[in-house]
Amino acid sequence: MSSLDHEPGPAGPSEVAPVPLEADDAPRGMDRRVIQVFVALLVFVLATSAAPTLHPSQDAFREWVDPFVDGIGLWQGQWELFGPEVDKVNVAVVGVVEFADGERVEWRHPVWRESSPLQKFRHFRLMEFTDGLRLDSNRGAWRAFAEYVVRTNPHPTDPSVRATRVSLWRQFVTIPVPRAPLRPIAEPFVPSEQRLFYSADLGP
């Protein structure tokens, strides 16, 4: 048997028709280009409006696109996880309801580090809402939120006791620059300061 002779090997797999990469009704031509341009513009708007402020022109741009971004529900806020000015203030919002007999009840938004993965998934938007609620620019929502706190936090032992006052507080702590030795992860930073940002006496 010559070196070119060889035993026939097993038959190869039968040829399979190529699977089309696009659905029959996928957009083509001008429709596709319009979609691509729209997506590119959307990504540019979201990235530019959320990027840290490096130039005063960014503020003017954000003001211009804010109605559009709010309208489509994709407002991001600024991504301040990285430089140049890192977000280093932990904030909590606390509502205090006072009753006619002197009893006090507190409402607190969910604490991230104490929440389970499911609770984080369920309450993420609530945390974002309360984080934005404390800002002076959102003072228009303070009264309605205070009414919600009163409505959802009755007297702990006697629901017939009337609430007489409600107040909303910002509690916060500024995270210092890390220094050696590093702080153990089991020791969270707890709010060390608080400021009243809304209060109301409740009528009879």
What are the boundaries of each domain within the chain? Answer: 30-71, 89-201
Token code pair at residue 1: 């048997």
pLDDT of the residue at 204: 67
Contact criterion met (CB below 8 Å) for 166 and 130: no
Contact criterion met (CB below 8 Å) for 106 and 191: no
99: left (phi over 0), alpha (psi -120 to 50) or beta: beta
pLDDT of the residue at 84: 63
Could you give the C-alpha distances from 189 to 126, 130, 170, in angstroms and in order? 21, 19, 15
* For the chain, percent of residues with pLDDT exceeding 70: 74
Instruction: Tell whether the model's pLDDT for residue 40 goes beyond 80.
Output: yes
Tens of pLDDT, residues 133-180: 888 889 999 999 999 999 999 999 998 999 999 999 998 888 877 776
pTM: 0.57
Helix (H, G, I), strand (E, B) or coil at 82: coil
End-to-end alpha-carbon separation of the chain, Å? 110
> What is the C-alpha to C-alpha distance for residues 93 and 148, in angstroms, rounded to an integer?
14
Instruction: Tell whether the model's pLDDT for residue 42 goes beyond 80.
Output: yes
pLDDT confidence tier of residue 119, bands split at 50, 70 and 90: confident
